[in-house]
Amino acid sequence: MDVVQTVHVVDDDEGVRLSIEFLLKSEGLAPVTYASASDLLSTSLQPAGCVLTDFHMPGMDGLELQSRLADRGVRLPVIVMTGFADVPAAVRAMKAGAVDFLEKPFAEDQLLHAVRRALAENRQALGALRAAQRASQLIATLTPRESEVLHLLAEGHSNKEMARVLGTSPRTIDVHRARVLQKLGVETLPDLVRLVLAARPPEQGSGDFEPSDGPGRTSRGRMT
């Protein structure tokens, strides 16, 4: 069963919330709307989805919302909506971890592009997390000596080098190596290295910022 990715829409303007909700639903997405950042924070958030938030809101703005989500360990990608005069503030939000920002008024297809991109990033991050958990579980089945052999294998050491480091014979290293590959369910050294790397996935939200399409894009209606 596919996991439902929820688009959490936070805006104090009811008209904007309803308009975005209608658009997202018409595109087969699953939006949930909130009138304030506090309303979102009072919800038990699942790891699948993204957050689409206005920057300037009464009580708690988009930047503080990002900070509160990060403090709680919520790794959902955040998209910030902002007016022209608030672009410097949006840049601060990007530096704080937002994956994108939309400058009002923006076209509907700009919004959809940003949301789909955030959801794709979320799927990738969740996939990496599942792979990391699976890899960590497999690595945890190794004995202490097998873990040492795994570490040296991943660093590219030969059997003779490992035998010298561990104070044993190359033949014994051969036995340990075979057991490591068997327990981890891999057949080759490249597969083993990939599994070790999978146990350390990159943090969600890192990477270079790739902004949404500029104001000149008008193929669909604009939203304010």
What's the pLDDT at 83? 76
- Tens digits of residue pLDDT in 60-110: 988 899 999 999 999 999 999 987 667 777 778 778 788 998 988 899 999
Q: How far is CA 180 from CA 139, 185, 191, 199, in A?
A: 9, 8, 12, 15
What's the pLDDT at 201? 55
CATH of 141-198, one of 2.60.40.10, 2.40.10.120, 1.10.10.10, 3.90.1150.10: 1.10.10.10
For the chain, where do the domains classified as CATH 1.10.10.10 start and end?
141-198
What's the pLDDT at 145? 94
What's the pLDDT at 84? 67
Find, among 143, 127, 140, the residue nearest to 196 by Cα. Answer: 140
For the chain, where do the domains classified as CATH 3.40.50.2300 start and end?
6-129
User: For residue 90, how many other CB atoms are within 10 A of its CB?
Assistant: 21
> How many angstroms separate the CA atoms of 48 and 7, rounded?
9
Cβ–Cβ < 8 Å for 53, 25: no
**Stated pTM of the model:** 0.72
Q: ∠ CA(81), CA(87), CA(91), 5° rounding?
A: 90
What's the pLDDT at 108? 95
Q: Would you identify the CATH topology of the domain 6-129?
A: Rossmann fold (3.40.50)
Give kind and range of the element (H or E) at residue 153.
helix 144-154
Query: Low-confidence residues of the chain, pLDDT below 50?
Result: 1, 203-219
Report helix, strand or coil for 10: strand
What's the pLDDT at 211? 35
What's the pLDDT at 207? 32
